[in-house]
Copies of this chain bind each other. A is one copy, B any other.
Amino acid sequence: QRLLYGAEDVGFFKEITTAPGEASTDANKHNFKEFQGNLGMAECQYIIKHELDNLRAKDEAHVPGYPKMKLYPGKSVIRRMQSKGILVQVFPLHEKEELKRLSFSWFKKIKLSFQPLDDIRHYFGEGMALYFGFLEYFTLALIPMALIGIPYYLFDWEDYDKFTVFAGFNLVWCTVILELWKRLSASLAYGWGTLSRKKAFEEPRPGFHGVLGVNPVTGRAEPLYSNAKRQLRIYLVSVPFVLLCLYLSLYVMMIYFDMEGWALMIHDEEPTFWTGLLLFIPSIIYAVVIEIMNLIYRYAAEFLTGWENHRLESTFQNHLVLKVLVFNFFNCFASLFYIAFVMQDMVLLRQSLATLLITSQILNQIMEAFLPYWLQRRRNKKAHKRMIKTMEDKELPLSEQVKLEADMSTYLGTFDDYLELFLLFGYVSLFSCVYPLAAVLVVLNNVTEVYSDAFKMCKVFKRPFSEPAANIGVWQLAFEAMSVIAVVTNCALIGMSPQVKSYFPESETQLIMWVVGFEHFLLASKFILTFVIPDVPKHIQIKLSRLEFESLEALKKRHQKEPVYKRLTYRV
C-alpha cells in the first residue's frame, strides 16, 4: 500500500493493478527485499529511497538521541544523519538470484544480440539502462563508418579526394545518428513510462548549507545561500582556476612538442628500428599525462563545484559537467588542433591521433574495470577468509552480505562513462578525414567496453540507487556541440588538402571562400535537419496524445459529477 502511495508521489506513470510489497528498514542499514508485482525492482527501490529521504523533522529540534544534531521543521532526518556521520552508508543490496540471471543474459555468454535493456532497467533503473542503450547504439552507429574506414587503411589510400568523401559522409552521419538516438531514447523511455513523467519537486542537495531562511517557493524554513555570493565564487575563483588549468595543459603540450622534436632529431641522425619506435614514445607519455591530468582535474572540479554551494543537485551537475567538459576537450584535443592548423603536418597528426586514442583506450579499460576488480578481489579474499572462520553455511546470511557489500566500491554515476564516450566521439569525428581507422578502433573499444562496464556494474560496485530518466540529458547537447565543431574542423582540413588546393591554382582566396561557403551550407543543413526530424517517433506521439486525450476525457466525466465550486478549490 505504501509503495503505491509512493509511486504516486514520485509521479510514476503507469497502470498499476496490484503490487504487494514489503519494505524492511532497520536503524543503520536498509536493505530492500524483492518485490513481486508490476513495479520493477529499481522502481520500488527508488520509491523507498524517496520515502526515506522524506522522513522529515516536524517539531523535533534535534535527532532523537543525538542532542547536538540540530533539525528544523521540514529537514530530512536521513540527510542530516548522513551529513553528520551517524549514518555511514545507505545503499541497496544486490539481489543474488536476479543478478545471476541478469549477468548471464548480459555478459556471461558472448553472443551477437542486443543487450537485455529491459532487464537492466528492471535491476538498475532507467538512467543506467539508457547509458547502456546509448553505448550499444553508438557502437552500432559507428560500424558503417568503421566499414568505410577499413579500405582506407588496407589500401593505404592517401588520396585526399577519397578523404573528402569520407569526411562528408561522416558529417551527415554524425548528425543523423544523434537525431535518431533522440527518437530511440524516446521510444525506450516511453516503454519504461518515464517519457512524460513530471519531474518531482527537487530538494536541496545533501552538501548544501546556508543561513536558515524562508524558501520563497515552498514557504518552509530552509537554509538559503545568496546567489550573488555564489556568482562571486564562480567568477572570481572557479573561472580563473579553470583558465589556469587550461594554461597548464597548454604548457604540458608544449613540452610534448619539444620531446617530439627531440625524438625526431635522434631518429633523423641515425634511423634504426629502435629510434623508429622512439618516435612513438613522446605521444604515449603525453597520453598518459593527459589521462592523469584529467583525473586530477576531475577531483578538483568536483571540489570546486561543491564549494560553489549549489542548492540543487541538477545545477551542481550542470556546472560540474561544464567545467569537466571544457577542460577535457581542451586537454585531449589541443595538441591535435595545434598540429592540424598551426603546424599543418598531416602525417604527425595521424600518428599523434592514433597514439593518443589507443593509449587512452588501454588506460581507461585498466582504470575502469581491472583495477577496481583487482582491489575488489583482494578485499573479497580477506572477507572470505573471515567468513569461513565464522560459519560453514552455504547461504550467506543477510548481515554478512551487508558487510561484504558495504566494502565494495561506490559507483559514482554514469558521468565518467559518458565522458569517455564523448571523448571517443571527438577522436572519431573531429579529424575523421585524416585517420579513418579511428572509427574501427572505437568500435572495438566499445564492444569490450559493453562487457567491462556490465561486469563492473554487477561484480565490482555496490548496487547503485536507481534514478528515473527520460533521456541522456546534458550529454545529448554535448555530443551535438561536438558534431558542430567537427563540421568546422573537417571543412578546414579538407580546405587544406593539396588535392582541393589544386582545383584553385591561381587564387587561394577563392578556395577559402568555397570552403567557408560549403561549411556554412553544412551547418545550416545540420540545423534544418535537427528541426525536420521529429524528436519523438510518430507512433509514440500518437500514443502520447491518446493518453492525454483520455485523461482529459476522464477529467470531463469527473467534472460532470461534481459541482463547480468544489472543482475550483482543487485547481490552483
Contacts and interface: CB of A to CB of B under 8 A. Distances in A.
Contacts of A546: 216-218
Nearest to A199: B548
Contacts of A218: 546, 549
B556 A9 contact: yes
Contact of A549 (B217, B488, B558, B571): B217
Interface stretch (A76-84, A351-359, A562-570): A562-570
Interface in A538-567: 542, 545-552, 554, 556, 558-559, 564, 567
A530 B217 CA distance: 26
Interface string A333-350: 000000000000000000
A4 interface: yes
A559 B509 contact: no
Nearest to A17: B568
A15 interface: yes
B509 A217 contact: no
A209 interface: no
A16 interface: yes
Interface string A99-140: 000000000000000000000000000000000000000000
Contacts of A8: 559, 567, 571
A51 to B, nearest CB: 13
A251 interface: no
A512 interface: yes
A16 B9 CA distance: 28
Nearest to A551: B572
A205 to B, nearest CB: 16
A5 interface: yes
A220 to B, nearest CB: 10
A509 to B, nearest CB: 5
Given A217-B542, A488-B520, A564-B1, A552 B201 contact: yes
A516 interface: yes
Interface residues of A, number: 38
A418 B330 CA distance: 43
A9 B564 CA distance: 12
Copies in the complex: 2
A464 to B, nearest CB: 27
B568 A16 contact: yes
Contacts of A90: none
A545 B217 contact: yes
Given A516-B516, A549-B218, A556-B9, A4 B509 contact: no
A508 interface: yes
B550 A570 contact: no
Nearest to A485: B524
Contacts of A212: none
Nearest to A16: B568
A92 to B, nearest CB: 25
A564 to B, nearest CB: 5
A244 interface: no
A513 interface: yes
A351 to B, nearest CB: 26
Nearest to A477: B531
Contacts of A556: 9
Interface string A228-241: 00000000000000
Contacts of A512: 509, 512-513, 516
B217 A568 contact: no
A547 B509 CA distance: 59
Contacts of A554: 570, 572
B542 A572 contact: no
A200 B558 CA distance: 18
A548 B488 CA distance: 43
Contacts of A15: 568, 572
A4 B564 contact: yes
A348 to B, nearest CB: 22
A127 B13 CA distance: 34
Contact of A568 (B4, B513, B520): B4
Interface in A290-325: none
A178 B291 CA distance: 42
A547 B201 CA distance: 12
Contacts of A513: 512
Interface in A488-519: 488, 508-509, 512-513, 516
A512 B516 CA distance: 10
B5 A559 contact: yes
Given A512-B509, A570-B554, A572-B554, A5 B217 contact: no
Nearest to A565: B4
A546 to B, nearest CB: 5
Given A8-B567, A15-B572, A217-B549, 8 more contacts: A4-B568, A5-B559, A13-B571, A216-B542, A488-B520, A512-B512, A516-B516, A554-B570
Listed from nearest, the 5 A-B pairs whose CB atoms lie closest are A217-B546, A551-B572, A217-B545, A508-B509, A4-B564
29 contacts: A1-B564, A4-B564, A4-B568, A5-B559, A5-B564, A8-B559, A8-B567, A8-B571, A13-B571, A216-B542, A216-B546, A217-B542, A217-B546, A217-B549, A218-B546, A218-B549, A488-B520, A508-B508, A509-B509, A509-B512, A512-B512, A512-B513, A512-B516, A516-B516, A550-B572, A551-B571, A551-B572, A554-B570, A554-B572
